[in-house]
Amino acid sequence: KLTAFQRLDFTCDDVLDCLKEDNIIGKGGAGIVYKGSMPSGDHVAVKRLPAMSRGSSHDHGFNAEIQTLGRIRHRHIVRLLGFCSNHETNLLVYEYMPNGSLGEVLHGKKGGHLHWDTRYKIAVEAAKGLCYLHHDCSPLIVHRDVKSNNILLNSDFEAHVADFGLAKFLQDSGTSECMSAIAGSYGYIAPEYAYTLKVDEKSDVYSFGVVLLELVCGRKPVGEFGDGVDIVQWVRKMTDSNKEGVLKVLDPRLPSVPLHEVMHIFYVAMLCVEEQAVERPTMREVVQILTELPKPPNSESPTSPAPCTTLDPPTTTITKDQQQPPAPKSTPPDLLSI
């Protein structure tokens, strides 16, 4: 039986017809994702979760997904259309995102095609999605697995926060909930969560800061900086919060970018990854800062940067010749995070 969260023109049998080897677009420990074509011609993404072990209460995030995504609607949160469930399998049906995940686009072979203005737009849109979860839902929702692979892109590269399998409800802002074990993705987990297992909305803020650093640097959070070093530690060491340092870590695949925008988004990223959770901004503040981008001092030259943060950005647009680090080598991750 298909349980729908909106009016749908397909059936559970149509969903089951999608479960073919040729339709697989993503695989992982949390299940398999298929691309499906419905009789109407519309495309959907179907996530098939692993079967529950006998006697186990672990549902691989199935209930978390339907309890959160099933009740919310926002332009920048992926839409859960419905689900099919029985004692053998759980299927989640989502709107299809043809450009896959930000992680795949940013770190895959096409990473060089993600221009700066698109990166900035994605940052703002993803921030708005998280802001909605933290400030406009009741009770508020903590995502707990914010990462570039969980930000999906539609045909216009519009960002949608996805994968709510680890999401938790918090009754009041400013409160925390103690988890029984660490959940999330290595490189994105806030320090206090790793040490205390206490999670709140500031844990998501930290993870979002890591995503912003990915957008600036074009590098994965871990695996490129030596043993035990993540992107936050690497950036702090390389930049020392000054403009020359930011030039060293900037994605070399970006041919020319407005420095005032780079410094602005870098500044926000470093606020988000503050060691102490209380020092981090809220997602509402993040959206406000990102959308209040100061204009360059010379209105006739839109790519001429203006100082907009305490980082004292330079006054020229960066060109490729000025960039220092080699392009990161990476293999494309799955098209959809699962």
* 101: DSSP letter: B
**Longest C-alpha distance within the chain, in Å?**
68
CA distance 140 to 53: 31
Cβ 204 vs Cβ 140: under 8 Å: no
DSSP annotation string for 131-162? HIIIIISSSEEE-S---GGGEEE-TT--EEE-
Which residues are designated catalytic?
145
* Nearest 10 degrees: Cα torsion 195, 196, 197, 198: -130
Cβ 196 vs Cβ 177: under 8 Å: no
CA distance 251 to 261: 14
Within 156-302, where are the H helices? 191-196, 201-217, 231-239, 243-249, 259-272, 283-291
CA distance 115 to 183: 32
Q: What phi, psi does 36 have (nearest 5°)?
A: -125, 145
Cα–Cα distances (Å) from 126 to 69, 75, 121, in that order, read: 16, 10, 9
